[in-house]
Amino acid sequence: MKKRIFACTLAAVLAASAALTGCGGSSGTSGSGAGASSAAGGDSESADAGEVYVYNWGEYIDEEVIDMFEEETGIHVVYDMFETNEEMYPIIEAGARTYDAVCPSDYMIQKMIENNLLAEINFDNVPNYSQIDPEYIERSKAFDPENKYSVPYTWGTVGILYNTSMVAPEDVPTKWMDLWDEKFSGEILMQDSVRDAFMVALKALGYSMNTTDETELAAARDLLIEQKPLVQAYVIDQVRDKMIGGEAAIGVIYSGEMLYIQEEVANLGLDYSLEYVIPEEGTNVWIDSWVIPANAKNKENAEKWIDFLCRPDIAKMNFEYITYATPNKGAFDLLDEELQNNKAVFPDIDSLKNCEVFRYLGDDVDSIYNDMWKEVKSK
């Protein structure tokens, strides 16, 4: 009997540790020991206890910034992370754990606004909002029409990455349709996510990437099916490492990866370089912004947190850590000229003229996209 209990406990411990390591450490409080008072059930005193519950993407902040914020304001930060917008949404919706500041992407912010999950930000408490380049505030109107709910944090584009030694100068890709070129058969890496993959096909066909028109979507689906034999693999984060390793000639990638890629190519002393192109049909300009959920318990602290992140020196620290382009004008001015002129990270505004921001299209249209994507993948 005793032995069996021991075996069960052991199994339980093993399974629990497996589960913990398995989910990629999606939860953790900030490193500093400033607030030992952050008991889970302490909401009665939380209003003045000075806490802020932050929910952000993984590896999406310089951790030192959290410590600095705690030191300067005395507010204790409870910091959790998520991996996809879709994973974050039900947690905010259910309200089982309330957060004060969250950093979702454009289309998800729109969905949260439409479902009344967000609180209006009191911009009087966010003086550093003035540091944000008006260009991105303007673009934010696609998902936050009156700019009442969101403060842009990072932005970027999606484009084509190619290997200079595997792509002849005359074949250098300039448009999405080049991803259908038979010359690149078996050398193409596509994004393994519904909206990104359809964005490529819809833009290649000259349609809006936010289309809800079923004939346009069907055309995009057929185009993706036509492309499938040429595709080496559908991947997400692995595009970066596969391209650095020379596994494929050409791939669809988020611009945020470019600084890392350029550094890595230089560090490894590779005999080729990887270049980034924004296709001329236009692409997805994405914006991740800070928002405050409607059920936030520490709204003013959340505003202090957002304001802190908008401070140019802090935004610069975060930019250097995350390497995704910052919409913060003040931080941009602090950067080296070489970095300011890095077109992969900070493209010319002109090259973005055909670009769009993803919009939330409603659950029904989402399921049409999902079904069509399944058709592509099962072919």
Partner 1 sequence: MRRKLLAGPYLIWMIGFIIIPLVLIAVYGLTDKNGAVTLANVIAISTPEHAKALWLSLELSFVSTVICLLLAYPLAMILRKRNIGRGSFIVFIFILPMWMNFLLRTLAWQSLLEKNGVINGILTFLHLPPQSLINTAGAIVLGMVYNFLPFMVLPIYNVLCKIDDNIINAARDLGASFWQTLLFIWIPLSVPGIISGITMVFVPALTTFVISNLLGGSKILLIGNVIEQEFTRGSNWHLGSGLSLVLMVFILISMALIAKYDKNGEGTTF
Measured distance CA(11)–CA(17) in Å, rounded? 10
| Span near partner 1 by CB under 8 A; candidates 114-122, 185-193, 209-217, 328-336 | 185-193
Q: Residue 167 or 248: which CB sits closer to partner 1?
A: 248
Q: Residue 9 or 122: which CB sits closer to partner 1?
A: 9
What's the angle, vertex CA 190, arms to CA 268 and CA 139, rounded to 5?
95
In the set 182, 271, 336, 363, which binds partner 1 (CB under 8 A)? 363
Q: Residue 8 or 266: which CB sits closer to partner 1?
A: 8
Q: Residue 21 or 44: which CB sits closer to partner 1?
A: 21
Measured distance CA(157)–CA(139) in Å, rounded? 13
Tokens 């550094």 map to which residue?
263
Q: Cβ distance 332 to 133 under 8 Å?
A: yes
Measured distance CA(33)–CA(47) in Å, rounded? 20
Q: Kindly state the smallest distance separating residue 89's Cβ from partner 1, in Å.
A: 7
Helix (H, G, I), strand (E, B) or coil at 8: helix
In the set 193, 208, 295, 342, which binds partner 1 (CB under 8 A)? 193
Q: Residue 164 or 351: which CB sits closer to partner 1?
A: 164
235 binds partner 1 (CB under 8 A): yes
367 binds partner 1 (CB under 8 A): yes
Size of the site for partner 1 (CB under 8 A): 34
What is the contact mask toward partner 1 in residues 48 to 87, using x (rule: CB under 8 A)?
Answer: ------------------------------------x-xx
Q: Kindly state the smallest distance separating residue 378's Cβ from partner 1, in Å.
A: 4
Q: Kindly state the smallest distance separating residue 360's Cβ from partner 1, in Å.
A: 12
Q: Kindly state the smallest distance separating residue 306's Cβ from partner 1, in Å.
A: 27
232 binds partner 1 (CB under 8 A): yes
194 binds partner 1 (CB under 8 A): yes
Read off the tokens for 231: 């595709």
Q: Residue 93 or 280: which CB sits closer to partner 1?
A: 93
21 binds partner 1 (CB under 8 A): yes
In the set 225, 246, 265, 294, which binds partner 1 (CB under 8 A)? 246
Other beta carbons within 10 angstroms of residue 87's beta carbon come to 10
What is 199-260 written as a DSSP string? HHHHHHTT--TT---HHHHHHHHHHHHHHGGGEEEEESTHHHHHHHTTS-SEEEEEGGGHHH
Half-sphere exposure of 184 (CA within 13 A, CB side): 30
94 binds partner 1 (CB under 8 A): no
Measured distance CA(208)–CA(74) in Å, rounded? 47
186 binds partner 1 (CB under 8 A): yes
Q: Kindly state the smallest distance separating residue 232's Cβ from partner 1, in Å.
A: 6
Nearest to 98 by CA among 119, 72, 69, 71: 119
How far does the chain reach from its first CA to its final CA, in angstroms? 54
Read off the tokens for 339: 């970095």
89 binds partner 1 (CB under 8 A): yes
Half-sphere exposure of 233 (CA within 13 A, CB side): 11
Using CB under 8 A, list all residues that contact partner 1: 1, 5, 8-9, 12, 21, 84, 86-87, 89-90, 186, 192-194, 228, 231-235, 245-248, 363, 366-367, 370-371, 374-375, 377-378
